[in-house]
């Protein structure tokens, strides 16, 4: 009888939090909505931006607008682990990664923020500069093509 009084919980899936492509610009940059979780808004936004870039680099974008799903820039299996030293430096706070992610499109798409007792979840819209990122990875010897 006590279970009948229980408040139903909304089921969420991992897919709800996958980065999704919102569009591709003529210069090859990709507009992405991504989510991040942190103790405060700043940390959550930072993680969301890194999650977007991580998806572009290693996973590819499978959700979002039809026709803009793209393969990962670094298609090599286990590339994150193989080049761990490089990507640890790349993704550190204040690192190179910040040059390849902008918030230029956030005004158009808005933000989704949620707060609970554990912290803040931020859904942000970022533009990932794919072509510039590809050139950087080639210069640094990560991409061979």
Quick check: 130 and 56 in contact, CB under 8 A? yes
- How far apart CA 143 and CA 20 sit, in angstroms, is 24
pTM to 2 decimal places: 0.78
> What per-residue string of b and e applies to 35-58 under the rule 16 or more CB within 10 Å gives b?
bbbbeebeebbbbbbbbbbbbbbb
How many angstroms separate the Cα of 102 from the Cα of each of 30, 125, 142?
Answer: 10, 9, 23
How many angstroms separate the Cα of 77 from the Cα of each of 20, 82, 83, 122?
Answer: 22, 9, 11, 29
Rg (CA), the chain: 17
Tokens representing 98?
């910040």
pLDDT of 100 reads 94
Largest CA distance in the chain: 65
- The DSSP letter of residue 74 is -
pLDDT of 88 reads 94
pLDDT of 117 reads 65
Give every residue of the chain whose pLDDT is below 50, as ranges. 1-4, 6-15
Quick check: 61 and 30 in contact, CB under 8 A? yes
pLDDT of 10 reads 43
């Amino acid at each position: 009888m006590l279970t009948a009084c229980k408040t139903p919980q909304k089921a969420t899936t991992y897919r709800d939090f996958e980065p999704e492509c919102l569009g591709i610009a003529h210069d090859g940059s990709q507009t992405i909505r991504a989510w991040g979780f942190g103790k405060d808004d700043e940390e959550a936004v930072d993680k969301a931006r890194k999650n977007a870039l991580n998806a572009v680099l290693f996973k590819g974008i499978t959700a979002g607008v039809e026709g803009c799903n793209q393969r990962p820039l670094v298609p090599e299996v286990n590339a994150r682990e193989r080049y761990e030293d490089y990507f640890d430096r790349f993704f550190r706070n204040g690192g190179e990664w910040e040059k390849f992610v902008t918030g230029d499109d956030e005004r158009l798409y808005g933000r989704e923020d949620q707060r609970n007792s554990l912290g803040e979840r931020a859904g942000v819209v970022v533009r990932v500069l794919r072509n510039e990122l590809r050139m950087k990875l080639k210069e640094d010897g990560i991409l061979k093509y």
